[in-house]
Amino acid sequence: MIGLRRKSPFPYSLSSILSPRISSTSLRAFLPMRPLTSESLNPSVLNVQYAVRGELAIKAEDLRAKLKEDNHGLPFDKVISSNIGNPQQKGLDQPPITFTRQVAALMEWPALAELAPDAFPKDVIARAKELSEEIGSIGAYSHSQGVPFIRQNVAKFIEERDGYPSNPDHIFLTAGASAGVSLLISMLISTPKAGILIPIPQYPLYTATLAQYNGVPIPYHLDETMDWATSVHEIEGAIEKAHRDGVHAKALVIINPGNPTGALLDEETQKKLVELCQKYSLVLLADEVYQTNLHKPDTHPFSSFKKIVCDLQSPTALISFHSISKGISGECGRRGGYFECTNVSEEVLALIYKMVSVGLCPPLGGQIGVDSMIRPPKPGDESYDLWKQETDTIHDALRHRTHTMAERLNGLPGVTCVKSPGALYLYPQIRLSDKAIEAAKKAGKEPDAFYALELLHETGICVVPGSGFGQKDGEWHYRLTCLCPGVDEYVGKLEKFHQGFVERYGSA
């Protein structure tokens, strides 16, 4: 049998594969064509929309870059990013809290305490030393649930706020509240017909996350005529409609204080909402990241849902979210937050722990930021007077700006604006003429997006159209932050633009 070659099971020789003369037919047999296209990705990704970082924000960055050019030809000299609650963003004037940054500096480089001992108050040095002993280097992973010592401190904060005990083992530190919201929604969406009740208008994180995990948003409308009040009757109607559509409502999202509305719930409404969740076996997802952004604390105080659930001795499962990104901290970039689980079984807590373990741990800088937020200096501490001065200044500025902006927006033709008692935003309604709506249609835009784009190109002010948050048919809004300095000049630009827009397109 010498001279006979054994036939290879492989249909092509190595030389034929390496040969430049290989046919395109043979090549396609081995090399997949265009492996990365939008069609080849998870289709859920294509359904995700996130308005606060959408078209307006992208165009605003393009304009900001153009301003750096000589003879840019734009009718303004700066872009004002009023589209997102980002207090320490360049161009805004909310400074970081000195205590927070000093602790962070010593945690990054502990030797600073010896190299520059006079630069740091004694309570800051003591705090950094205490945290260092518990954490070690912030370059190392922590416990997946977050540093145990910091979780214990969060539990003490919650106990002092609400008057009820908190278990640190039921607290998960997170990379901002958004990471916790995303995790819980991903776990709750158990079937293609699982849905979550979300307020309209809502923060786009919720619809975006539901789209990502193939969940069904179940909208319930807030009542603008009653200062964006939450109606139990409206929510029950949404649940019943979902049931008729074959959708199983799994959870109820409440944002308190509201985003984008700034509305604040009273305790009677909160009790009714907890009872509703108990009646329909809903998990209550309480987004409370603006709990210290109160403009009328004497008449409009904040009560946590943890307190309400405990007051009622309710078995309702509650997940409460908080963050260092808002409040007077404004430390968005540090990505720090937490959620607390109430009336959640040990079995489910173990599953949540398993899921957070996949990400190893939340950022250590964010965890330290959480500790500074929930354990600020106390009277008598060396840092207290400066901390009090800084936080009072921030509260006063937000209160003044919110009041001034609401008053002046309400003076414009075709504009109504609820005077927000909380959070960082206003959400004015704009009534647009048929001519403006027709012009928007020709431009391929929603009418409020058309309005917002013209505002951006004429003034450099970037806002978010209400169509990104949800609104009733035939109504148009936009959200803007109350973070911008120079409020008189800022609102003056809004007024001048709106008056010009009405002159061009007529009144509604």
Task: Kindly provide the b/e burial profile for residues 138-156, where b requires at least 16 CB atoms within 10 angstroms of the residue's own CB.
Answer: beeebbbbbbebbbbbbbe
User: Which pLDDT score, from 0 to 100, does residue 28 have?
Assistant: 56
CA-to-CA separations, 240 to 53, 128, 210, 237, 243, in angstroms, rounded: 33, 53, 20, 5, 5
| C-beta of residue 322 within 8 angstroms of C-beta of residue 114 | no
**CATH (residue range 51-93+387-505):** 3.90.1150.10
The whole-angstrom separation of Cα 270 and Cα 302 is 11
The whole-angstrom separation of Cα 128 and Cα 134 is 10
User: Which pLDDT score, from 0 to 100, does residue 3 have?
Assistant: 44
The whole-angstrom separation of Cα 483 and Cα 472 is 27
Q: Please, what is the Cα angle at 18 between 12 and 21, to 5 degrees?
A: 90
pLDDT digits (tens, 9 = 90+) for 361-398: 999 999 999 999 999 999 999 999 999 999 999 999 99
Q: Give the residue carrying structure tokens 């990471």.
A: 179
Give the other-Cβ count within 10 Å of 477's Cβ.
Answer: 28
CATH topology of domain 141-374: Aspartate Aminotransferase; domain 2 (3.40.640)
Helical residues (DSSP H) of 200-314, grouped into ranges: 205-212, 232-244, 267-280, 305-312
**Contacts of residue 418, Cβ cutoff 8 Å, sequence gap at least 6:** 224, 227, 228, 261, 262, 263, 406, 426, 427
User: Which pLDDT score, from 0 to 100, does residue 2 have?
Assistant: 42
- pLDDT at position 9 over 50: no
Give the other-Cβ count within 10 Å of 376's Cβ.
Answer: 18
- What SS3 state is found at 339? strand
- Average pLDDT of the chain is 87
Q: For the ranges 63-67, 169-173, 404-408, which has the lowest average pLDDT?
A: 63-67
Structure tokens belonging to residue 317? 């499962």
- pLDDT at position 455 over 80: yes
User: Which pLDDT score, from 0 to 100, does residue 25 have?
Assistant: 55
**Contacts of residue 66, Cβ cutoff 8 Å, sequence gap at least 6:** 72, 74
- pLDDT at position 1 over 60: no
User: Which pLDDT score, from 0 to 100, does residue 8 have?
Assistant: 47
Q: Give one word for 7, left, alpha or beta, with left for phi > 0 and alpha for psi -120 to 50.
A: beta
User: Which pLDDT score, from 0 to 100, does residue 214 have?
Assistant: 83
Q: Where in the chain is the domain with CATH 3.40.640.10?
A: 141-374
Q: Give the residue carrying structure tokens 């979300």.
A: 198
Q: What is the mean pLDDT of residues 231-246?
A: 94
Q: Where in the chain is the domain with CATH 3.90.1150.10?
A: 51-93+387-505
Confidence of residue 18 (pLDDT cuts 50, 70, 90): very low
pLDDT digits (tens, 9 = 90+) for 414-445: 999 999 999 889 999 999 999 999 999 999 98
Q: Which amino acid appears at position 88 of this protein?
A: Q
Q: What is the mean pLDDT of residues 99-107?
A: 95
User: Taking Cα atoms as reference points, which of 428, 418, 424 lies closest to residue 399?
Assistant: 424
